[in-house]
Amino acid sequence: MVEDKTEAEQGRFVALQCRKCGGMFRARQWRDGVSCPNCRGSSVRPVPAPGGAVDYMLADRSQGTTADDVAFAEWAKWCGFVTANQYNTAMHRQNSELHETARTRPIHEVLASMGLLDKDKVEGLLRFLALPRPNLHDKDFVARLLRHGHADPEQVERVCRLQRRMADQNNEVRPVCQMLVHRRLITEAQMLEVLHEQEGQELGDLAVARQMAQRPPRDSVLMKLGRRVKGRKVPLRSIAVLAALLLVAYAVWSWQLRRPQIFVYGQCERCKCFVQVPWSATDWPRVCPVCRHRSVLYLVRCPKGHYYVRASPFSKEACPECGSDFGRQPTASEFAALLAAPRASERRR
């Protein structure tokens, strides 16, 4: 049986700071007698790294934004926590601080000061960036990427080897999908297409990042009540409170069941019918109510009035007629007009 390794045996580093010169550096472990590599002083103490992201914390920001800041902000954007405009604004603010105060804060502090990220999201994303890599999510991403034909296999393999070399040097390694985008071997849209496909099966770095950034669940009233009465004689009043809470929970559950279901518009690839199907973020294609085959794709309308389908609500396929990628769902009146119009096959007759 293999024993659990300590952080030092696994090659993970800790952050240390010299109280004499204020310099910060990393080491495999901290113990009394460790000297500062800058001033050789012995007054060295460990400092906490948020989320365990030591390399991110110790990044040299004397010249402004670093690659570690970019990596963090990109995942905040890809997870949907900030918009592209907010991302650019945060980067501008971070670099402006260097000229105004001669001190640059890490990008997570800038985003938090803008009210865009709370403590749970910051901690979760930093823990995500500090995860050991390569991992199974990287391998699955590469396999799906090559299956889609988005990149050259030899170039992808070179990046994978680079990721392994960086991991062998005990660095905090970025996900292979992000490394491929930074080296311009794939576009951000191609990366997100594969990540959303993985997320539909609860796989991939995007699913992991979002899950780790969620607020930890809090104990419910029932759980707290259960712990309080465990091992004691339960008074009649507690039983009445528990029964009332169960009744309220049942009422809420019954009300949720009566809520109307949300529908969206789609087109069946098999029978070419325009149909309404229940909304889903990931379960596409949907089942056609006419031919009963799972072949309904998400229907969109481009700015020039052309109708076409996309693989899912979050994919970004361009219009095959005009090339525009700004598509939206048709309105109810537009969809009604689409149903009233004769089919192309009938017009040809």
User: What pLDDT digit, counting tens, does each position of 188-246 carry?
Assistant: 999 999 999 998 888 889 999 998 888 766 655 555 555 555 555 556 676 777 788 88
- Domain's final residue, options 129, 161, 180: 129
Q: State both tokens at 300.
A: 């969109």
Q: Among candidates 131, 128, 201, 122, which has minimal Cα distance to 163?
A: 131
How far is residue 349's CA from residue 347's CA, in Å, rounded to a whole number?
A: 5
Residue 3, domain member (yes or no): yes
Q: Residue 302 is part of which domain span?
A: 263-341
How far is residue 107's CA from residue 96's CA, in Å, rounded to a whole number?
A: 12
What pLDDT is attached to residue 324?
87
What pLDDT is attached to residue 56?
75
What pLDDT is attached to residue 8?
37
How far is residue 321's CA from residue 323's CA, in Å, rounded to a whole number?
A: 6
Same domain, 117 and 142: no
Residue 349, domain member (yes or no): no
What pLDDT is attached to residue 7?
38
What pLDDT is attached to residue 247?
86
What pLDDT is attached to residue 306?
92
Residue 129 and residue 51 in contact, taking contact as beta carbons nearer than 8 Å: yes
Cross-strand pairs, 300: 308
Same domain, 183 and 237: no
| HEC secondary structure over 44-91 | EEECCCHHHCHHHHCCCCCCCCCHHHHHHHHHHHHCCCCCHHHHHHHH
- Domain's final residue, options 257, 284, 315: 257
Residue 52 and residue 70 in contact, taking contact as beta carbons nearer than 8 Å: no
Pairing of strands 286-287, 24-27: unpaired
Residue 346, domain member (yes or no): no
Domain tally, the chain: 5
Q: Give residue-wise pLDDT tens across range 274-294.
A: 999 988 888 889 999 999 999
Q: Which residue positions in the chain have pLDDT lower than 50?
A: 1-11, 344-349
Report pTM. 0.54
